[in-house]
Amino acid sequence: DPCKMDLDAGSCFEIHFRYFYNTTSKRCESFIFSGCNGNLNNYKLKIECDIACVEKYK
């Protein structure tokens, strides 16, 4: 389940504003993605993260 994965910003040097599901706060939060690697807990839009991971949207 991508929603249970820890935040992974990747290992490159680009700047992409993305969202991930924070299992502690139980909310989708913004982070800066480096552009490569990382994991599946990485959404371009907050609503995509909300629909995939936030309980009230499921």
User: What pTM does this model have?
Assistant: 0.93
Over residues 28-51, the pLDDT tens digits come to: 999 999 999 999 999 999 999 999
> For the chain, what are the domain ranges?
2-57
Amino acid identity, residue 15? I
Please name the residues in contact with 45: beta carbons below 8 A apart, sequence gap of 6 or more.
19
Q: What is the topology classification, in CATH, of domain 2-57?
A: Factor Xa Inhibitor (4.10.410)
Answer positive or negative: Cα dihedral of 13, 17, 21, 26.
positive
Please state, in angstroms and rounded to a whole number, the distance separating the CA atoms of residues 11 and 29.
20
Over residues 4-34, the pLDDT tens digits come to: 999 999 999 999 999 999 999 999 999 999 9
Please state, in angstroms and rounded to a whole number, the distance separating the CA atoms of residues 16 and 55.
26
The pLDDT value given to residue 54: 97
The pLDDT value given to residue 57: 86
